[in-house]
Amino acid sequence: MGRLIVISNRVGPTNSSGPSVGGLAMALGAALREYNGVWFGWSGQTVDAFSGQLAVQREGGATIATVDLEPQDRDEYYNGYANRTLWPLFHYRIDLSAYERSFNEGYARVNARFAQTVLPLLQPDDFIWVHDYHLIPLARELRRRGVKNRIGFFLHIPWPARRLFATLPFHRELVEAVFDYDLVGFQTEDSLSAFEDYVEKEEGGEVRPGAVHAYGRTLRTGVFPIGLDAKSFAEAATGETACGWRDRMKVSLAGRRMIIGVDRLDYSKGLEERFLAYEEYLQNTPEALEQVFLLQIATPSRDEVPAYQEIRARLDAVSGRINGAFATADWVPIRYVNRAYRRDELAGIYGAAAIGLVTPLRDGMNLVAKEYVAAQTPDDPGVLILSKFAGAAEQMGEALIVNPFSREEVSDAIAAGLAMGRSERIRRWESLMDGVQTHDVSAWRDAFVDALRTTPRPELAKV
């Protein structure tokens, strides 16, 4: 049986079941151990001159291999093309998407460097799983170097609508490069159909069940919605730390109801719109004053990118203005927190909230929605309010689904959620929880790996 080679921008810790290890790292770690695998990515460090020197270590049965990049790579590839060009475009923010030739060059250079560096680690029967928008042209670079292995690609973020995607200079080249994979996976039907639409309408390709044909090649396609490491999250939610935090939050509630938001501090998460919708709710609902508060945990991220500095400053201003307008001597309407919590602490905090407010403007999936559900107490669960533009909305129809751009709709949903009776909350939660447990991260990983292992390779078929 071939080994599994996972390649992503960064690698996660895989050897710990500790509270800070993310669900993706845990799921991939388990698969890497099972398939005697290798996880390769950028170390996060920079050195003056790129050497291609691999740092390899064994971690709990898997091999972790990293490489350092140059400061120019970090600026042009990571902060540049990945996070200033593709991320905003794929999240429908063409106004924020910056196209600079140096970014494209840096992106191409780092993908070539990744391919060159990982090459000596590859064996003929390995199968390779590449992750996310940082590495779209990686298969092309590997093929150029003679790699014939099966290679799959999974996109964690949305694939944008055809007309938006076509605003990207060299959009055709990027899509053509996708066809060097054997399998491409998306989070949602919506993303898959946007990709198919582009291939069909812009490139005259042909859409077939589970495949697209263009540029003389056939690419297998599929929808693989990512899930939570539901079992370990549920364990964390009933552990000592989570229970301690749930109790601590209950004391801090002092009889009030809590609405919780947890996000990376990112403009795609709709935080400003969320604050404004909550303000609308306070304006519309005088009886809620001093009875409710919003705890927004927003962990800073990508703070070298100007748009992230700007959204952070705007959120400081908007939360400050709302608190200034509504706060009383012993109540603030928004507790706005810019620090990170451990996974088990978060589980406890979610568990104390009457509402989980998850309102991204655009999101590949959104795991916070699933974590909120997994952390609820079965006999008295809270209510999930979920944006229709999160991939999770395709699976989580029992949430209160809202348009995050409409303050009125979000405000009405907050009112409806806080008024919802226990039996309806339980009915909705049971259905949501069933989905979270069934479609968990292991199911996602197994479905993708099985699809990749069974995708025929024309070159392999001949031998």
Instruction: List the one residue from 69, 236, 367, 414 that touches ligand GDG (CB under 6 A).
Output: 367
372's enclosing H/E stretch is helix 367-374
- If one asks whether residue 134 binds ligand GDG (CB under 6 A), the answer comes out as no
Restricted to residues 267-306, the positions that interact with ligand GDG (CB under 6 A) are: 297, 299
Q: Does 264 bind ligand GDG (CB under 6 A)?
A: yes
Has 75 been annotated as catalytic? no
Closest CA relative to residue 129, chosen from 6, 8, 40, 2: 6
Of 182, 363, 398, 409, the residue at the interface with ligand GDG (CB under 6 A) is 363
H or E element in which residue 245 lies: helix 240-253
Does 364 sit near ligand GDG (CB under 6 A)? yes
- 7, 346, 352, 449: which one contacts ligand GDG (CB under 6 A)? 346
Give DSSP secondary structure letters for 292-332: EEEEEEEE---TTSHHHHHHHHHHHHHHHHHHHHH-BTTB-
Kindly indicate which of the ranges 6-14, 335-343, 414-422, 430-438 contains the residues binding ligand GDG, using the contact rule CB under 6 A: 335-343
Least distance from ligand GDG to the Cβ atom of residue 375, Å: 10
Is 156 among the residues known to form the active site?
Answer: yes
Count of positions (residues) in the chain: 463
Provide the minimum distance between the beta carbon of 14 and ligand GDG in the complex, in angstroms, as a whole number: 16
Distance CA 4, CA 37 (A): 5
Which sign, positive or negative, has the C-alpha torsion 443, 447, 450, 452? negative
Please work out the total of residues on this chain that contact ligand GDG, with binding judged by CB under 6 A.
Answer: 20
Among 171, 342, 453, 457, binds ligand GDG (CB under 6 A): 342
Smallest distance, ligand GDG to C-beta of residue 36, A: 25
Using CB under 6 A, which of 27, 128, 226, 373 touches ligand GDG? 226
Alpha helices per DSSP H over 154-239: 162-165, 171-178, 189-203, 230-238
447 binds ligand GDG per the rule CB under 6 A: no
By CB atoms closer than 10 A (0-12, 13-18, 19+), residue 209 is exposed
Closer by beta carbon to ligand GDG, 284 or else 437: 437
Angle (nearest 5°) at CA 426 between 421 and 428: 100
Q: By rule CB under 6 A, what string of x and - marks binding of each residue 6-45 to ligand GDG?
A: --------------x-------------------------
- Active-site position among 73, 182, 363, 440: 363
**Site for ligand GDG contains 218 (CB under 6 A):** no
Angle CA(351)–CA(410)–CA(441) in degrees, nearest 5? 45
Tokens of 183: 């399998």
Shortest Cβ 344–ligand GDG spacing (Å): 9
**Rounded CA separation 88/391 (Å):** 16
* Selected range binding ligand GDG among 92-100, 138-146, 339-347, 449-457, rule: CB under 6 A: 339-347
Letter string b/e over residues 357-389, b meaning 16 or more CB atoms within 10 A of that residue's CB: bbbbbbbbbbbbbbbbbbbbeeeebbbbbbbeb
If binding is defined by CB under 6 A, does position 156 make contact with ligand GDG?
yes
Interface pattern 396-435 for ligand GDG (x via CB under 6 A):
----------------------------------------
Dihedral sign, Cα of residue 348, residue 351, residue 354, residue 357: positive
Q: Is residue 341 a contact point for ligand GDG (CB under 6 A)?
A: yes
Report if residue 340 touches ligand GDG, rule: CB under 6 A: yes
Q: How far apart are CA 351 and CA 381, in angstroms?
A: 8
- Give me the long-range contacts of 284-292 (CB less than 8 A, separation at least 24): 284/411, 284/415, 285/415, 288/418, 289/326, 289/328, 289/331, 289/333, 290/256, 290/328, 290/331, 291/256, 291/257, 292/256, 292/257, 292/258, 292/259, 292/333, 292/418
Among 28, 38, 67, 365, binds ligand GDG (CB under 6 A): 365
| Span near ligand GDG by CB under 6 A; candidates 142-150, 275-283, 337-345, 375-383 | 337-345
**Does residue 157 bind ligand GDG (CB under 6 A)?**
yes
Asked if 266 and 301 touch (Cβ cutoff 8 Å), the reply is yes
Per rule CB under 6 A, is residue 384 in the interface with ligand GDG?
Answer: no
Name which of 113 and 131 has its Cβ closer to ligand GDG: 131
- 376 sits near ligand GDG (criterion: CB under 6 A): no
Which residue number, 188 or 455, has a Cβ lying nearer to ligand GDG? 188
CA distance 101 to 114: 20
Q: Does 441 bind ligand GDG (CB under 6 A)?
A: no
Residues of the shown chain interacting with ligand GDG in the complex, contacts defined by CB under 6 A: 20, 156-157, 226, 262, 264, 297, 299, 340-343, 346, 363-368, 371
Would you name the residues annotated as active-site residues?
156, 363
